[in-house]
Chain A
């Protein structure tokens, strides 16, 4: 019984980080109909920018509470610079082309971004846990928890609610829904679809970069993070059903639970758990838990 609370908390906080990695991918797929293989790179770029800025703050002995602002700011920075740039040059070119072309173009982008990160940020791993230390810890039932872990869970819940409010109850959300529902019809009634695509793509980049930035205090950032995150995000997005935001949240929980249970019962299999979960779900329900069946082409 005593093991349940720590296990649950570990599951929830790792689910939060996994959710951040995947939600942008699934959102972008929903609106743009493009499976972005370079999505994991946005996560790691967000992490690199946040880690560099945090280290800068600590080295200059500025107010350490600035590091919280920096985590958010770096995600905005990455989204504002990379989002519109990449959408309007590369991604836009692939609309209406086959999935193979979309996957390959974004794979090319992934390769480019991997090297850009290596050139800009070097190959050493960066780590700064100032935000985590500042938040302190809480003891529940004699076991000490980091407040940062709990804050991560709250952030993820906020993002789920925020995205839902954005899509269901704001003007932009309704425009996005219209574009998702029928792109041509949306265009013909005067919606600037290009602007919606840029916004949605940048929002996806922001969510990925935010996930990376939030992960810095817990696990830092090292080369290869982008590639690792990518497959995890794929797994989560696919389990939840591509394009389903609530599905991604549930899938993140499933993957995190699978992982935590694997670590608890069979530590050597922890890396297998997310993919095995993905495989099982997809074999039973190829369109994911919440995905809808698309008609066969005739």
Chain B
């Protein structure tokens, strides 16, 4: 009961925030986008698989938005769905090969594939615009041509709604037998196979899902920023996604979004005082791993337990 109340209050605070401080709107939109991608990474972390390459699906979807918009599709919803489907299909193809691998090999193969995509985005100048990237025009929403600020409003509230909806669906997925099989893979996958559960299929479903979540994040970012660049797919971007997932703790769905919001807000605040942002994040990451193994979300749930 208290959990639901806290959750509703948190979402309300998020919705109201930009009316109080309009500059927050962009920051929060990007934070939610990264939260989606981090949630995708967190799903794989449950199975003990660490992907230093998920920024590729983020980038694929973002480039998808730019391509489809360039080829004449102007509806916001259609662009979003199409590009997320493309990210999901890429995830199915890549995942079909990669979910056979574990541990360091899984991490490195994801890195290799993502760097191939990065290099292609950066080098195929004629198609992707090279390192200049591609512009993303302001799309129509339900046939209405909106001004840019109005669209950014729609995008923000749409992202919040999507976060709640998708977050709920992912929560249900993680609570299903298919989701619980993930942590079983982590603990003992041979036993799982003896029980007759196809580990390959369990992981492939998780991989495609995580690619689509990263894709939602990429599409939202593309709309919010108005430009897509190859750096979306660089390995450090993938590293940051893992970092956000870890900050949030791999426990629950809200964790990824809390981690992303915390990090983006901290970034905005810290930028006013210092430009050594990476140093702060790196040190915080190490501190969180060493002292708060459950992440920031773990901090909340622990205090909740002690309050009861």
Contacts and interface: CB of A to CB of B under 8 A. Distances in A.
A118 B276 CA distance: 9
Nearest to A230: B235
A279 B50 CA distance: 17
B190 A227 contact: no
A108 B286 contact: yes
B103 interface: yes
Interface in B191-215: none
A235 interface: yes
B123 A271 contact: yes
B285 A108 contact: yes
B100 to A, nearest CB: 8
Contacts of B124: 268
A110 B104 contact: no
A271 B188 CA distance: 39
Contact of B282 (A93, A108, A235, A272): A108
A7 interface: no
Chain A CB count within 10 A is highest, among B52, B112, B234, B277, for B112
B272 interface: no
Interface in A103-120: 103-105, 107-112, 114-116, 118-119
A227 B282 contact: no
Nearest to A294: B103
A197 interface: no
A234 interface: yes
Q: How large is the interface on A (under 10, 10 to 19, 20 to 34, 35 or more residues)?
A: 35 or more
B7 interface: no
Contacts of B105: 282, 286-287
Interface in A23-55: 35, 37
Given A107-B243, A287-B105, A115 B278 contact: yes
Chain A CB count within 10 A is highest, among B45, B108, B109, B239, for B108
Contact of B234 (A107, A227, A287): A227
A271 B118 CA distance: 9
Contact of A103 (B52, B119, B120): B52
A98 B48 contact: yes
B190 to A, nearest CB: 5
Contacts of B111: 231, 234
A109 B97 CA distance: 31
B279 A112 contact: yes
Contacts of A296: 190
A272 B122 CA distance: 10
B188 A298 contact: yes
Nearest to B238: A107
Interface string B119-156: 11011110000000000000000000000000000000
Given A115-B277, A115-B278, A275 B289 contact: no
B123 A109 contact: no
Contacts of A282: 105, 108-109, 112
A271 B282 contact: no
Contacts of A112: 278-279, 282-283, 286
A169 to B, nearest CB: 30
Interface in A84-107: 90, 93, 98-101, 103-105, 107
Chain A CB count within 10 A is highest, among B97, B100, B111, B284, for B111
B90 interface: no
B112 A105 contact: no
Nearest to B98: A283
A108 B283 contact: yes
B14 interface: no
B282 A109 contact: yes
B278 A111 contact: yes
A279 B113 contact: yes
Nearest to A35: B104
Nearest to A283: B97
Given A98-B48, A271-B122, A286-B101, A107 B283 contact: no
A114 B283 CA distance: 12
Contacts of B113: 275, 279
Interface in A266-298: 268-272, 275-276, 278-279, 282-283, 286-287, 296-298
Chain B CB count within 10 A is highest, among A108, A235, A283, A286, for A108
Contact of A104 (B101, B103, B123, B242): B242
Given A103-B242, A231-B115, A268-B123, 4 more contacts: A100-B50, A107-B239, A107-B243, A108-B285
Interface of B: 45, 48, 50, 52, 97, 100-101, 103-105, 107-109, 111-113, 115-116, 119-120, 122-125, 188, 190, 234-236, 239, 242-243, 246, 276-279, 281-286, 289-290
For the complex of A and B, list the 5 residue pairs with the smallest distance between their C-beta atoms, beginning with the closest.
A111-B282, A115-B279, A108-B285, A112-B282, A271-B119
21 contacts: A35-B104, A103-B50, A103-B52, A108-B281, A108-B282, A112-B283, A114-B278, A115-B277, A115-B278, A115-B279, A119-B279, A230-B235, A242-B104, A272-B119, A275-B112, A275-B115, A275-B116, A282-B105, A286-B109, A297-B188, A297-B190
